[in-house]
Amino acid sequence: MTLLDKDNLEIALARGKAEHLAFGELCYTRLTDEIGGVPKGSVVLADGSVIPGYPSIARIQALDPGLKKQFEGPFWAEEKMDGFNIRIFFQGGRVYALSRGGFVCPFSTDRMLDLLDPAIFTNHPELILCAELVGPDNPYLEGHSPQVQEDIDLFIFDMMRRDREGFLPQQHRMDLLEEFELPRAEIFSRFQPSDREAISELIRRLDEDGKEGLVFKPEDGGQRAKYVTARSNTYDFSVTSEGLLDQPPEYFTNRLLRMGLFMAEHGQRQDHDRMSELGHALMQGLFRSIDASRDHNRVGSRFRCRFNRRENAYRFIQHIEQTGGERVKVYDDMPRQEGDYWLLEFERIHQRMTGFLNQALQGGRQFD
C-alpha cells in the first residue's frame, strides 16, 4: 500500500505543493500542502516511502459535556507536553527527526542519539516515533514543560508506520515503549466518558503543577481531543507578551477564552491569585520589551541550543536564515565549543514589537 503514487507527486511538485530537499545523504520531498489526502508536512523518501504528517488535534473547552459528546467508549489520557513536535525515522542506517512542517531538523537529528536508543529501529525499521522535544535549550520555543529544567529531553507519545494512515494502536505502542524502555509522555489512565470527576481531578493537579494539559486518545483509534490547563495560558503569556505584536492577536484572545472556560468549569472564579498572575504575565513581558527597546533599540528573544557536530549547527543556521530572514540574528562567535558540544546562541527579533516600541518611546504620534 502506498499513500502517494509517483504521478501525484510529480503534479504536486509542478504546482509548488511539494519541494525536493536534502540533508546530508538523505534526499526527500516535503509536502507543503495536502495532496490527495496525504497531509501537509508529510515527507516522501527517495525510495518512495511516505512518512505521514502529524495531524492537528482538535480541542475541547469543557469536560462536561465534552467527554460524553466526543467519546463513546474508553480512551486514554496522556500528558500534553509543551515543546515541539518531531517525527523520528530510520533510513540508511541513520536516525533522522522531522519538524512538524516536514523539514529534517538539524538540531533534533543531531541530538537524537543523546536522547534515544535506536535499537527499536533494528527490529522495526518502518516505525516512526512521534515525540515532543522539551526543554530550555531548544531553538524554536520560548516556553517548555516544567519537567525539563535544563538542556532538552524527549517524550514519545505516538507511533506511526511508513505508508500507513493512522497511529499504532494504544496497546501496541505501550508494549513497544516498555520493551525498548523508550522515553515517553506520561500515560495516566484509561477512562470512560463518564469519568468526568476523575479527569477533572487529574487536570486540576496538572494545572497546580504548571503543566500543559491532556490528550485523550480513544482505544478504538477514533478522533482524539486535547484539553489544556488554565496555567498553560498564563505561562504562554509570560513568555510571549514580550513579542506581543509578533503573534497573531488571536493568540492572546483565544488563550483568554480558554483560561476563562477552564476557571469557570473548575470552580476557580474566586481564585484571585490566578487572575493576578494573568495580569502580571501580560504586563511584565511588556516591561521587559520596553527595557530592551530602550537599551538595544530592538526587542528579541534569546535562544541557545547545543550540537554534537559543528556541521549540524551550520546547517541549522542556514535553515533559520532561509526561513526566518532578517528576524534572526546569530551572535558573532557562534557556534562556539563548550565541553563536548557546539553551542549556538541566537536571537529571534520581534520585528513588529521593535518597530512599534521604538516609535512610541521616541514620542511618535500614532493613529489607531
Q: Which residues bind its own copies (CB under 8 A)?
A: 56, 58-62, 64-70, 223, 225, 241, 244-245, 248-250, 252-254, 256-257, 259-261, 263-264, 269, 272, 274-280, 282-284, 286-287, 289-290, 356, 360-368
**CA-to-CA distance for 235 and 121, rounded, in angstroms?**
36
Give the residue with the Cβ less far from its own copies, 29 or 354.
354
Q: How many CB atoms lie within 10 A of CB 168?
A: 20
Give the residue with the Cβ less far from its own copies, 60 or 129.
60
Give the residue with the Cβ less far from its own copies, 171 or 223.
223
Smallest distance, Å, CB 3 to its own copies?
22
Report residue 343: phi and psi, to 5°: -85, 135
Give the residue with the Cβ less far from its own copies, 11 or 58.
58
Instruction: Match 542506517 to its residue by C-alpha cell.
Output: 93
CA distance from start to end of the chain = 56
Q: How many CB atoms lie within 10 A of CB 324?
A: 13
Report residue 91: phi and psi, to 5°: -155, 130
DSSP 319: H
Smallest distance, Å, CB 294 to its own copies?
9
In 121-230, which ranges are E strands? 127-134, 153-161, 187-191, 213-218, 225-228
Cell numbers at residue 88, please? 523520528
Smallest distance, Å, CB 55 to its own copies?
10
Give the residue with the Cβ less far from its own copies, 277 or 347.
277
In sequence order, what are the residues at sequence separation of 6 or more whose Cβ sits closer than 8 angstroms to the Cβ of residue 72?
193, 222
Smallest distance, Å, CB 191 to its own copies?
15
**CA-to-CA distance for 199 and 212, rounded, in angstroms?**
14
Smallest distance, Å, CB 58 to its own copies?
4
Spatial CA neighbour of 261 closest among 61, 65, 60: 61
Spatial CA neighbour of 78 closest among 130, 16, 5, 25: 130
Smallest distance, Å, CB 145 to its own copies?
19
Smallest distance, Å, CB 64 to its own copies?
7
Instruction: Match 484571585 to its residue by C-alpha cell.
Output: 272
Give the residue with the Cβ less far from its own copies, 275 or 334.
275
Give the residue with the Cβ less far from its own copies, 84 or 90.
84
